């Protein structure tokens, strides 16, 4: 059998490639002066973001401003690649595990969620991750994909295009009538009623960017488990979760949720480099997916090509799309997860919840404002959606911008104004934003 590309690299004494490993230093190695006290100081945390100070940034969830450790990691890696692009990239892509530059990103994500690195595929965005899962499904004509009316455009389009290709059907159902009055019993009952005998996949969104509702995914997963009890293994319903707007602001992980696949861009609440994301899947769920894009992360795929043989059952690394990327971004992902871990996932969740509660309570007291996001923390996350009487959402966003408050309008058929406090904000900024909303009358 021929020597694999990775074996060849491992056996070749290239001293120059050691720079790639050196360029990828951990947070502690890069900034030894940082202490636990630093990460406990919210003012210090806010200071890590290079945001324009004259604006109040309440749309950080759209696309991230990199915190300092991530910016520095990107720059270190960029310099390393610029200094010796062939050796750094060739080694970083195909080196053995202890030197491969993708592995630390998988491991950092796994450490954060409590899963295995082997079960994480690296992608460029939530959009790409959803498309890879739905287009990789082994469905037959007549099989159904069930979604909800609350999902984002890219989730629905991934399903529609995949169903069209596979000859499957798809359907959307509402899980609640009014976002501000949603209950756990309502969403679980509606999902239970919607499942049909031919339903093979269910797509859910953890936090709805159109209403701010946070679904109780674990309880919905239990409903799906009930439906699977009497089903054969090949007919078992898979649960796919778009988790991007809860990933990084909630003290709950994909492993906790008991879903089959969890998809999230990491360039939002996680603060990872722009153009990065993950798909986590249960080990046995990956075997029900067919890869769509050739992988450059799998020895099995490469050896299969060389030896003209099947690479075997699908694993996460077979689904990670290959090709040349902004490697200085993908390889700097561990810094973002380390930043989160240093602050503490629960502390971040509690902080976002406190600022969001302050925002929602203030909005709810305004007679000319209708708050649509549930006020209960267990049914909401960091996005707060509302409308202002007599003012179109886009107009409200424009008027808030004139007051240096960066809000957004949700891109749905029914649109609302959105304010999303995060770690870049404090209580005084929330009050300032509320005063600006109060003036919209």
DSSP classification of residue 374: -
Q: Which of 343, 362, 378 is the last residue of a domain?
A: 343
Q: Is residue 14 over pLDDT 80?
A: no
Based on the fold, state whether residues 191 and 72 are members of the same structural domain: no
Residue 266 CA, distance from chain mean position: 5
Residues 375-387, mean pLDDT to the nearest whole number: 96
The answer to whether residue 163 scores a pLDDT higher than 70 is: yes
| pLDDT of residue 27 exceeding 70 | no
Q: Specify if 54 maps to a domain.
A: no
Predicted local confidence at residue 429, as pLDDT? 98
Residues whose CB falls within 8 Å of the CB of residue 158, separated by 6 or more in sequence, listed in order:
127, 130, 131, 133, 134, 135
* CATH number of the domain within which 355 lies: 3.90.1150.10
User: Could you tell me the pLDDT band of residue 4, with boundaries at 50, 70 and 90?
Assistant: low
158 and 181 share one domain: yes
Tell me the CA distances in angstroms from 114 to 82, 280, 352, one per residue in order.
35, 11, 21
Q: Does 363 share its domain with 421?
A: yes
pLDDT confidence tier of residue 298, bands split at 50, 70 and 90: confident
Query: Do 356 and 429 have their domain in common?
Result: yes
> Rounded CA gap, 211 and 258, in Å?
24
pLDDT at position 21 over 50: no
Share of the chain above pLDDT 90, in %: 84
Q: Which two structure tokens, joined as six digits, stand for 331?
A: 């390889």
Rounded Cα distance between 4 and 10, Å, is: 10
Q: Is residue 416 part of a domain?
A: yes
327 and 354 assigned to the same domain: no
Whether 45 is covered by a domain: the verdict is no
Rounded CA separation 105/281 (Å): 16
Mean pLDDT across 194-223 = 98
278, β-bridge pairs: 122, 264
Q: How confident is the model at residue 66 (pLDDT cuts 50, 70, 90)?
A: very high
Last residue of a domain, one of 266, 298, 326: 266
Is the domain of 296 the same as that of 398?
no
Residue 38 lies in a domain: no
* Strands 408-409, 369-371: pairing kind: unpaired
Judged by phi (left if over 0) then psi (alpha if -120 to 50, else beta), residue 353 lies in: alpha
Indicate if 131 and 248 belong to the same structural domain. Answer: yes
Least confident stretch, 103-107, 294-298, 337-341: 294-298
Q: What phi and psi, each to the nearest 5 degrees, are found at residue 99?
A: -120, -15
Task: Give the pLDDT confidence score for residue 144 in this predicted structure.
Answer: 98
Question: What does the pLDDT average to over 179-189?
Answer: 98
216 & 257 share domain: yes
For the residues 95-110, what does the mean pLDDT come to?
Answer: 87
Same domain, 407 and 418: yes
**Spatial separation of the C-alpha atoms in residues 275 and 261, rounded to whole Å:** 20
pLDDT above 80 for 276: yes
d(CA 94, CA 89): 8
Q: How far is CA 375 from CA 120, 179, 218, 230, 253, in A?
A: 33, 10, 20, 38, 22
Please give the tally of structural domains in the chain: 3
User: Model confidence at 342, in pLDDT bands (50, 70, 90)?
Assistant: very high
How much is the pLDDT for 124? 97
Query: What is the rounded distance in angstroms from the CA atom of residue 122 to the CA atom of residue 319?
Result: 8
CATH of the domain at 207: 3.40.640.10
- Mean pLDDT of all residues in the chain? 92
Domain end (from 266, 295, 324): 266
Residue 36 lies in a domain: no
Q: What is the mean pLDDT of residues 64-68?
A: 96
Residue in 256, 274, 248 with CA at minimum distance from that of residue 339? 248
1 assigned to some structural domain:
no
Is the pLDDT at 300 greater than 90? The verdict is: no
d(CA 146, CA 201): 6
Phi, psi dihedrals of residue 370, rounded to the nearest 5°: -110, 110
Residues 246 and 337 in one domain: no
Pull the structure tokens for residue 181: 């009055």
- Which pLDDT score is estimated for 38? 84
Task: Give the number of other Cβ atoms within 10 Å of residue 53's Cβ.
Answer: 8
Show the CA angle centred on residue 168, arms to residues 291 and 124, nearest 5°: 35
Are β-strands 169-173 and 238-242 bridged in parallel, bridged antiparallel, or unpaired?
unpaired
Q: Is 276 among the domain residues?
A: no
**Residue 344: which region, alpha, beta or left (left: phi > 0; alpha: psi -120 to 50)?**
left
Q: Which domain holds residue 323?
A: 67-119+285-343
Confidence band, pLDDT 50/70/90 cuts, at residue 411: very high
Mean pLDDT, to the nearest integer, of 31-45? 78
Examine the domain organization and report whether 390 and 414 are in the same domain: yes
| Nearest to 332, CA basis, from 27, 120, 16 | 27
Say which residue the tokens 């795929």 belong to.
301
Rounded to an integer, the average pLDDT of 308-336 is 94
Whether the Cβ atoms of residue 150 and residue 173 lie closer than 8 Å to each other = no
Residue 176 shares a structural domain with residue 237: yes
**Count of all residues that appear for the chain in the document:** 441
Structure tokens at 213: 């509702």
What does the pLDDT average to over 220-232? 96
Query: What pLDDT shows up at residue 11?
Result: 44
Partner residues linked to 170 by β-bridges: 145
For the cut 50, the answer to whether the pLDDT of residue 26 exceeds it is no
Asked whether residue 108 is domain-assigned, the answer is yes
Q: What is the mean pLDDT of residues 3-23?
A: 45
**pLDDT tens per residue, range 231-268:** 998 899 999 999 999 999 999 999 999 999 999 999 99
Q: What are phi and psi of 216, to 5 degrees?
A: -80, 80
Query: What pTM did the predictor assign?
Result: 0.93
Report, as an integer, the average pLDDT of 393-405: 98
């Amino acid at each position: 059998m021929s020597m694999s590309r990775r074996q060849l690299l491992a056996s070749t004494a290239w001293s120059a490639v050691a720079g790639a490993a050196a360029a990828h230093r951990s947070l502690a190695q890069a900034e030894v002066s940082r202490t636990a006290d630093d990460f406990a100081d919210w003012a210090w945390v806010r200071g890590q973001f290079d945001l324009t100070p004259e604006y109040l940034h309440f749309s950080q969830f759209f696309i991230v401003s990199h915190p300092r450790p991530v910016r520095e990691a990107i720059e270190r890696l960029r310099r390393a690649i610029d200094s010796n692009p062939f050796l750094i990239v060739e080694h970083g892509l195909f080196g053995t595990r202890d030197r491969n530059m993708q592995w630390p990103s998988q491991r950092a994500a796994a450490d954060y969620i409590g899963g295995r690195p082997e079960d994480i595929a690296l992608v460029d965005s939530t959009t790409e991750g959803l498309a890879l899962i739905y287009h990789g499904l082994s469905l037959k004509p007549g099989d159904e994909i069930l979604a909800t009316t609350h999902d984002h455009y890219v989730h629905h389009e991934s399903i529609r295009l995949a169903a069209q290709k596979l000859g499957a059907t798809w359907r959307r159902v509402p899980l609640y009538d009014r976002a501000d009055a949603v209950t756990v019993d309502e969403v679980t009952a509606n999902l239970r009623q919607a499942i049909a005998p031919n339903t093979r996949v269910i797509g859910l969104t953890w936090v709805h960017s159109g209403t701010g509702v946070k679904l109780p995914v674990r309880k919905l997963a239990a409903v799906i488990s009930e439906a699977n009890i009497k089903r054969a293994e090949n007919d078992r319903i898979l649960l796919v979760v778009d988790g991007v707007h809860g990933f990084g602001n909630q003290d709950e992980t994909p492993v906790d949720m008991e879903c089959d696949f969890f998809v999230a861009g990491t360039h939002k609440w996680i603060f990872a480099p722009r153009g990065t994301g993950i798909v986590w899947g249960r080990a046995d769920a990956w075997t029900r997916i067919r890869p769509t894009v050739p992988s450059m992360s799998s020895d099995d795929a490469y050896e299969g090509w060389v030896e003209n043989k099947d690479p075997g059952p699908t694993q996460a690394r077979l689904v990670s799309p290959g090709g040349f990327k902004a490697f200085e971004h993908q390889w700097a992902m561990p810094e973002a997860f380390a930043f989160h871990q240093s602050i503490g996932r629960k502390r971040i969740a509690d902080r976002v919840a406190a600022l969001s509660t302050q925002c929602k309570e203030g909005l709810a007291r305004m007679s000319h404002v209708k708050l649509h996001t549930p006020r209960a923390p267990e049914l909401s996350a960091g996005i707060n959606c509302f409308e202002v009487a007599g003012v179109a959402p886009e107009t409200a966003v424009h008027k808030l911008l004139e007051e240096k408050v960066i809000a957004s309008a949700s891109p749905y058929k029914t649109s609302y104004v959105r304010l999303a406090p995060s770690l870049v904000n404090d209580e005084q900024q929330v009050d300032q934003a509320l005063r600006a909303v109060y003036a919209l009358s």
